Structure 1
Amino acid sequence: MNGVLGALEDFNTYMEQQLNVWKVPGAAVAIIKDQEIILANGYGYRDKESGLKVTPNTLFAIASCTKAFTAMVAEQLADEGMLDLDAPIKNYMPHFKMYDSFATERITIRDMLCHRSGLPRHDAIWYNSKLTREEIIERLEYLEPNQDFRAKGQYQNIMYMVAGYLVGKLAGSSWEQRVQERIFAPLHMKSSCFSVDEMQLRDDYALAYIDKNGETQQIPFRNMDSIGPAGSINSNIIDMANWIMLHLNRGMLDGKQIVSEGRLDDMHTPHIPCEPSLWGKKELPLSCYGLGWCIEPYRGHQMLHHSGGIDGFTSLVSFLPHDNIGIVILTNKLASHLPKVVTYNIVDRLLGLKEIDWSGQIQKDQEKWEEQLNKQHDSNEPSINNIESNPPHPLIEYIGTYKHPGYGTMYVELEKEHLQFRYNSMTLPVTHIQGDLFETLYELPMKLKASFHADSNGNIHSLSLPLNMEVGAKETVFAKMFADR
């Protein structure tokens, strides 16, 4: 153990440096070796404005790291003979329906838990909406796939919500209650909770931050209750360390078997190829998705991990089963590379490998990516000479109520002589580009092109936006309501 602790001798200094490099307000780090927590520290600030520091007990949104909890409660139901992961969902939910009739009849919970539904994300239907889980499930039949069923791994939140919803239904309770009783309670995860609303009632929680206009700014929490099984858990490094030790100890904690070894192996087994954590790196040559976990060897050592990202938070939970190493990194900044950088550094240290400057490499890769993105954006922008000062229709002809059976209602309004969109309680500013092409600033922020379409008589009849940015996904078309013409 002295050798292990020696490898971490200057780790606290390293962490402070990386917080500055990546401009992250606060982070919490737990390191597990041989079923012992050898480090559990907070760094930086959970509340930058008030100078409140991160502690080992500080709660963070873990976002999609929640998915492994949903996979485990499904496996526990299978252990109890209450669920067959390979039986069609229709066996349990007869009214379940997807856009693709074949997928409707054949999709299983296993398909949902390893992201092979054929659907792109379709996240806009739940993001910032007030839809219930039942209402989202009812809209599935209107959400188009962009790949054949089971042909490709496509990261999905809605399918995970459906899987969690079904687990709760079969257990005669809810997904939250099942996770609380079968995972949180036996693992002594006393601080963990299922909603940011509940988290804010606690004494020690992190505020959410984002990079905006060159500054790190605090933003509101994003409530994920409707999509809960895909990403609503909030936790701290103490609780999450127990979660990782469960996986390292073959499903057992405190002498009690929480899930059978066979079912744990099922979660940890590659099911379908997925995108790598870092493109083109020889240290990470292969990436697959199991059930709730990515399986990705790092420098010849088996590693399982899952990241999480939601407004103001980025997390990464990892473990190396053959080396008995576990790492939890929780941060309060959206889309940060810090968890990845720090995780790889810790693994290098504990395995006695020559440390790779992942921070420098990822910074360079990020700069190249941003340069390419800017070039692509510039090439796609209309020439300044072609930009019209006014759209071809009076603005009043664009306003109205537009609907999509899956995505719901988009309101186009006139505000101070400019168009704006109202969707899922979000107000989105709109800028004219040329013709009937406009640009709107979506959340986080993200620029999206919005096109209005007219019939042969020149009447505006629909609005389309690329709400799914996955390759091959069609634009979402909202039809203008007849009464508004």
Structure 2
Amino acid sequence: MVLRHLGFGLAAFLVAATGVALAAEREPLPPAQLQKALDTLATEAKQAIADDRTPGIAIAVVHGDAVIFAEGFGVRNVLTGEPVDPDTVFQLASVSKPIGSTVISGLVGDGKLTWDTRLMDLTPGFAMQEPWVTSQVTLRDLYAHRSGLPDHAGDLLEDYGYDREAVLRRLRFQPPLTSFRSGYAYTNFGITAAAVAAASTTGMDWEALSEKRLYEPLGMTSTSSRYADFMAEPNRAAGHIRVDGKWAFVEQRQPDAQSPAGGVSSSVNDLTRWVRLLVNDGMFEGKQVIAAAPLDEAHLPVMITGYAPNGTPSFYGLGWNVGYGGDARHSISHSGAFAMGAGTTVNISLDDRLGVIVLTNGAPVGVSEALANAFMDNAILGAPRYPWREVFTGIFAQMAADGISHKFDTPPADAGPAAADMAYAGNFANEFYGPIEVVAGADGLELLIGPNRRSFRLAHFDRDTFTFATIGENASGLSGVSFALDGAGKARSVWIEAFDKSGLGTFARTP
């Protein structure tokens, strides 16, 4: 299953939901209306568990400087049946991005850099394909997804075993999707490159910086940007996927390579401290932890990402979806999703100083988004504007379906024979994905991919075309593998369908 980023349509819905319009005088939220919204939120979370839409849920709500709701529902792991509570630690997936944005805002306030600091001035070894872009790209460009890198550039490298350093280095071989600063394309490793560069100003790595600059000052003792810390937590939520129609824990997502973009783990109790900081202009328990001006800058629109059904534009700021209601009510939000078992959402109305956090531990089907958006509507408007469960169920189902290739599911009835296995065997490479090897063994052909030479069995499809089962967070079903033979009947190149989404799927034979 491939779950792409929360794209134009979903981003627009998220922004439309949090940027709700109120009367111009912006009166305080009616207490009875807010309490009813909280009661409905708890009821709908219980129903989501009863309907088996996810194994576990944790929810917290902040209003002003107070935590007015924090509760767990369902189980951390279907194998143990241990319950979720507000201290259960979940993987946050892309909710890591706005957390990282807050960390960089702290560095801006400290005078270490600005949002317009160029990467070449921080990490001279970083490069994009075009030299001029390399010389100009800034933290702002990468946190707003406007560098020109294609959607999710580098993610497949991570799936097939490349570490952070290797992925960032190979971005220089990635052709741009758009011209510089002209288009929006969501990139985990673009943000990761910016975060690594920012951390270089402190002498710490990103993980240590996040801890020292944000988690420790806020007392977020269960929050970390390291996978090992998540796995060491006794009260953690395992990621679940559907197996034969039932939730099952198969494998935990290991996101260290893109930690600034997707590797934070935390509990809703910890995250309420972060939301309190955000709705109070960087203040926390009487101390200015993050300067207000750079924090505000991160919450302003930079790129248009789409339009809601009512015509409201959606924006991306610096690590945040940004929206405004009909009366210019300011909201920020972000969702996160691991196909391997996480669905998360944070929605904040800055003008109302109201925020909701929803964390789930099942493959994403829209549960966290539906709960969060319905709550914001109920709290601010008194009723939901859309049937949020149906809306997000449909959006996520479509994204999941779009991520699976079916082109090579069934060989043609008149499939032609393959050449001898040795015709295809050998070493091949391209600059982006590096070397691969095709090995002819007693049981047929194997494809070896990545720095760890992970082995995949090639099944014959038709003539010089084979298939293998893709893996990881971006798994896309069966991928075609087609060989081009030279005049002597020996493969001179190989094309891998799964690696060709941005035109980099062809590997030339090497000596």
Query: Which secondary structure does the structure 2 equivalent of 1:203 belong to?
Result: coil
Residue 202 of structure 2 aligns with which residue? 171
Query: Which secondary structure does the structure 2 equivalent of 1:449 belong to?
Result: strand
Identity over aligned pairs, percent: 24
Q: Does 1:333 align with 2:333?
A: no
Q: Does 1:313 align with 2:342?
A: yes
Matches within 5 A, 1:465-480: 465-467=496-498, 473-480=502-509
User: 2 CA distance for matches of 1:159 and 1:395?
Assistant: 40
Q: 1:31 to 1:478 in 2, by over 3 A?
A: same
Query: Which secondary structure does the structure 1 equivalent of 2:493 belong to?
Result: strand
Q: Does 1:292 align with 2:324?
A: no
User: 2 CA distance for matches of 1:171 and 1:369?
Assistant: 39
* Letter of the 2:161 counterpart: S
Counterpart contact for 1:146–1:474, Cα < 8 Å:
no
* Letter of the 1:409 counterpart: P
CA offset at residue 205 of structure 1? Answer: 0.3
Matches within 5 A, 1:198-213: 198-213=229-244
* Letter of the 2:315 counterpart: C
* Letter of the 1:110 counterpart: R
Matches within 5 A, 1:118-137: 118-120=148-150, 121-131=153-163, 133-137=164-168
Counterpart contact for 1:28–1:237, Cα < 8 Å:
yes
User: 2 CA distance for matches of 1:199 and 1:52?
Assistant: 17
User: 2 CA distance for matches of 1:481 and 1:163?
Assistant: 34
Matches within 5 A, 1:212-361: 212-274=243-305, 281-282=309-310, 285-297=312-324, 302-310=330-338, 311-355=340-384, 356-361=386-391
- What is the aligned counterpart of 1:434 among 456, 459, 462? 462
Residue 50 of structure 1 aligns with which residue? 80
Structure 1 stretches lacking a partner, 5+ long: none
CA offset at residue 93 of structure 1? Answer: 2.5
User: 2 CA distance for matches of 1:38 and 1:416?
Assistant: 64
Q: 1:381 to 1:387 in 2, by over 3 A?
A: farther
Residue 63 of structure 1 aligns with which residue? 93
Matches within 5 A, 1:352-371: 352-355=381-384, 356-364=386-394
User: 2 CA distance for matches of 1:49 and 1:398?
Assistant: 44
Moved more, 438-447 or 345-354: 438-447
- What is the aligned counterpart of 1:394 among 420, 423, 438? 420
Q: Does 1:384 align with 2:412?
A: yes
CA offset at residue 127 of structure 1? Answer: 2.6
User: 1 CA distance for matches of 2:325 and 2:480?
Assistant: 39
Q: 1:31 to 1:273 in 2, by over 3 A?
A: same
- What is the aligned counterpart of 1:84 among 85, 90, 114? 114
User: 2 CA distance for matches of 1:410 and 1:468?
Assistant: 12
CA offset at residue 326 of structure 1? Answer: 0.5
Q: Does 1:423 align with 2:452?
A: no
Moved more, 3-12 or 149-158: 3-12
Moved more, 363-372 or 351-360: 363-372
CA offset at residue 253 of structure 1? Answer: 0.9
User: 2 CA distance for matches of 1:335 and 1:76?
Assistant: 31
User: 2 CA distance for matches of 1:75 and 1:321?
Assistant: 17
Moved more, 215-224 or 58-67: 215-224
Q: 1:82 to 1:395 in 2, by over 3 A?
A: same
User: 1 CA distance for matches of 2:115 and 2:70?
Assistant: 36
* Letter of the 1:237 counterpart: V
Q: 1:273 to 1:3 in 2, by over 3 A?
A: closer
Counterpart contact for 1:19–1:338, Cα < 8 Å:
no
* Letter of the 1:159 counterpart: G
Query: Which secondary structure does the structure 1 equivalent of 2:140 belong to?
Result: helix
Matches within 5 A, 1:189-200: 189-200=220-231
User: 2 CA distance for matches of 1:154 and 1:173?
Assistant: 29
CA offset at residue 421 of structure 1? Answer: 2.9
Residue 112 of structure 1 aligns with which residue? 142
Query: Which secondary structure does the structure 1 equivalent of 2:148 belong to?
Result: coil
CA offset at residue 466 of structure 1? Answer: 4.1
Q: 1:420 to 1:44 in 2, by over 3 A?
A: farther
Counterpart contact for 1:251–1:259, Cα < 8 Å:
yes
Cα-to-partner distance string for 1:373-406 (whole Å, 9 max, x where unaligned): 99x947x878834433x33x22332233332223
Counterpart contact for 2:456–2:469, Cα < 8 Å:
yes
Larger relative contact order, structure 1 or 2 (CA cutoff 8 Å, min sep 6): 2
Counterpart contact for 1:128–1:223, Cα < 8 Å:
no
Structure 2 stretches lacking a partner, 5+ long: 1-30
Query: Which secondary structure does the structure 1 equivalent of 2:460 belong to?
Result: strand
User: 2 CA distance for matches of 1:178 and 1:367?
Assistant: 37
* Letter of the 2:195 counterpart: G
User: 2 CA distance for matches of 1:358 and 1:314?
Assistant: 15
- What is the aligned counterpart of 1:5 among 8, 25, 35? 35
Counterpart contact for 2:466–2:481, Cα < 8 Å:
yes
User: 2 CA distance for matches of 1:443 and 1:428?
Assistant: 10
CA offset at residue 474 of structure 1? Answer: 1.0
Q: 1:99 to 1:372 in 2, by over 3 A?
A: closer
TM-score (normalised: structure 1): 0.89
Residue 15 of structure 1 aligns with which residue? 45
CA offset at residue 269 of structure 1? Answer: 0.6
User: 1 CA distance for matches of 2:144 and 2:394?
Assistant: 32
TM-score (normalised: structure 2): 0.84
Counterpart contact for 1:66–1:229, Cα < 8 Å:
yes
RMSD of Structure 2 on Structure 1 (CA): 2.7
User: 2 CA distance for matches of 1:324 and 1:175?
Assistant: 29
